[in-house]
Amino acid sequence: MQYTPLAEYGAIGDGNTVALVGRDGSIDWCPFPHVESPSVFAAILDADRGGRFAVRPTSSFESVQRYRDRTTVLETTFRTADGEATVTDFMPVAEATESDDPLPAVYRRLECEDGPLEFEVQFEPRFDYAREVPEIEPTAEGVVALGDDERAVLSSDLPIEPSADGHGVSATVTLETGEQRWLALGYGEEIPFSPAAHRETLQRTVDYWQEWVHDCDGTDCPVGGRWHDLAVRSALVLKLLIHQETGAVCAAPTTSLPEDLGGVRNWDYRYNWIRDAAFTVRSLSELGHLAEARSYFQLCLDHCRQHDPAAVPPVYGLHGGGDLEERVLDHLEGYRGSAPVRIGNAARDQHQLDVYGELILAIYEAVRYGQPVTPDDWAVMCDLIDYVCEGWDEPDAGIWEVRSDPQQFVYSKVMCWTALDRGIELAETADGIDAPLERWRTCRADVRAAILERGFSERTNSFVRAFGDDDTLDSANLLVPVVGFLPPDDERVQGTIDATIDRLVTDDGLVRRYEGDDGLPGTDSPFVVSSFWLVTALALAGRTEEATERFEAILEYTSPLGLLAEAVDPETGDQRGNFPQAYSHIGLLNAALALADADRSSAGSSAPLGREESLEDLDASTEIVRRPTRSE
């Protein structure tokens, strides 16, 4: 069977898990009950044996997808020679039901606008990443799929019944103009079938998303203008990826979608990476979603309390620890034959120094938006910053989590400087807290001197990938002005931008991550977030016209629904890697914010992340509190 291009999927979710619905009406990926749980449908990883839940016309069709305005409710409209019908897919969040702990569920409404039109239903659940083929048995209102310790119940007013082999459902139905039919899939328990109740749940789901989403009247909007709708969609993607129970942000809702077709760079991204923290906090806060930003801030600190500062893992399960042991599912062929299919992620055991800077920067950003830091919080932060003083000059796996030997990555050192810099500023501007400021200032100066002496190459007029390199680039160094290590107009920043454009940018304007060995065979595709980093750096540097042109060029790769994967195939322009990717949408949001700030500035530039205003406005108390910003 054929595989659906990633750009032809829409994502729906309920704050616990996410399903991918193809433009052909097939749910090809859905783990239950949580996004990091084993899959029930995984046709995206094996078109023949992975399992799917499809609702589509029996005859040839054209289709188009769209989201209900400012929601994650997905509508797929099918047109055939005989008529037109729409399948509406959604997963109700807790707030859209009458239960505090609703059952995990997928609702599918089939509505015929122009009939008669014949549709088919294909229901093939495959539990535990398709390692278990359940038995399908009839119920009073549909069918139930029974595994050893799992069950999924499909209820409907369509004439569905088990197929002859007892492992699925295949049914057809003809709909007349104006006719509606429902399918309700409950995981674990049956969803009582009631079209009236389902319609109410749909409306409540729409209301929930429209009430949550950023809204403005067009005045003083941080991302007003031509990119507003894409920024709003990116915020909705991030919300889909935030676990409602813990506040953790999963990097993506999928596993093993390849960075390079046929290659081995296939990873499980259904976990929470600390490095997403600072940029997630800023982008959500700027759009007014302070509760999510503050929740993530507290989550990061809670993680750090559980570990010695020298052993803080860079990635966690969405419920805290969890089993992240990396394993291979040999029975699945992988998306378009790209094996191996992996679950778990060995990056949990890596030493990544940059996460300390990203964590402290996230806390600093949260403080700017009104989050109080208690004395207990400050004690955790001090321990982290003290460790940076001790360990900043160690080699590590870096932001790109290389599987080669650890190196002295320049970006890791920049983020160590950032941890010290923001920690010092917090300590200097708040009363009632103690910090070894003299030690921190001395260390900050040492880190800065080492970066400028050993991390910048006169030969390339650019920051390089690692200490000792003379001619190897890394797109992460585009963040040097973003975190305020050097001002955007510094010649070394401008040289790094120009070297990146000359060496890492493809003919289509996409940015590759880095040069040099990473311990893996093959090559990866240009990364979306790196491309947005270039836009942000250009905007900060006052090169606004160039930044705008590059931003608009990157946006050409967004899906028709405004979704982005991790990477883009430079040959075909197809999206690659896990989908949709939080880091890509965070990059889009922050690039849009940087361009909007540049447009508002007569000088055409903006301040680095977290430096738009001084923390001297902090209240003098043991709790670090800042005056509200415009977003509040």
Q: In degrees rounded to 5, what are phi and psi of residue 516?
A: 105, 175
Report the C-alpha gap between 34 and 90 in whole angstroms.
Answer: 16
Backbone angles phi, psi at 540, to 5 degrees: -65, -35
What does the alpha-carbon distance between residue 267 and residue 424 come to, in Å, rounded to a whole number? Answer: 37
C-alpha angle 316-319-320 in degrees, rounded to nearest 5:
45
Q: Does 632 have pLDDT greater than 50?
A: no
CATH topology of domain 6-211: Beta-galactosidase; Chain A, domain 5 (2.70.98)
pLDDT tens column, 134-175: 999 999 999 999 999 999 999 999 999 998 888 999 899 999
Give the contacts of 147 (CB within 8 A, at least 6 positions apart).
127, 128, 132, 134
Tens of pLDDT, residues 381-406:
999 999 999 999 999 999 999 988 99
Tell me if residue 500 falls in helix, strand or coil: helix
Q: Which residue has the higher pLDDT, 156 or 600?
A: 156
pLDDT at 624: 35
The pLDDT-based confidence of 366 (bands split at 50, 70, 90) is confident
Inform me whether the pLDDT recorded for 22 exceeds 60: yes
Average pLDDT of the residues in 292-300: 84
User: Which residue, 445, 444, 464, is CA-closest to 454?
Assistant: 464
pLDDT band at 221 (very low <50, low <70, confident <90, very high): confident
Q: Choose from 124-133, 238-247, 345-354 the range with maximum mean pLDDT.
A: 124-133
Provide the CA 195 distance to its chain's centre, in angstroms.
34
The verdict on domain 228-612 having CATH code 1.50.10.10 is: yes
d(CA 19, CA 489): 44
pLDDT of 620 > 90? The answer is no
The more confidently predicted of residues 413 and 289 is: 413
With contact defined as beta carbons under 8 Å apart, do 400 and 476 qualify? yes
Whole-angstrom distance, CA of residue 481 vs CA of residue 535:
12
Residue 237, pLDDT > 50, answer yes
- Tell me: pLDDT of 90 over 90: yes
CB 550 within 8 A of CB 561: no
C-alpha span between 192 and 194 (Å, rounded)? 6
Mean pLDDT of the chain: 90
Q: Where in the chain is the domain with CATH 1.50.10.10?
A: 228-612
Residue 398 is predicted with a pLDDT of: 93
In the predicted model, what is the mean pLDDT of residues 309-328?
Answer: 87
Residue with tokens 């806390």: 363
Parallel, antiparallel, or unpaired for β 105-114 and 84-90? antiparallel
Residues 6+ apart with CB under 8 A from 192: 155
What gap in Å lies between CA 319 and CA 59, rounded to an integer? 44
Asked whether 419 and 357 are in contact (CB, 8 A), the reply is yes
Tell me the whole-structure pTM to 2 decimals.
0.93
Q: Give the pLDDT band (50/70/90) at residue 274.
A: confident
User: pLDDT at position 218, please?
Assistant: 58
Q: Are the C-beta atoms of residues 604 and 542 closer than 8 Å to each other?
A: yes
Q: For the chain, give every residue range classified as CATH 2.70.98.40.
A: 6-211
Percent of the chain with pLDDT over 70: 93
Whether the ω angle into residue 313 lies within 30 degrees of 0, i.e. cis, is: no
pLDDT for res 609: 56
CA-atom Rg of the chain in angstroms? 25
Mean pLDDT on 235-256:
93
Task: Say if residue 619's pLDDT is above 80.
Answer: no
Distance between start and end Cα atoms, the chain? 51
Q: What is the pLDDT of residues 410-449, one digit of tens each?
A: 999 999 999 999 999 999 887 667 899 999 999 999 999 9
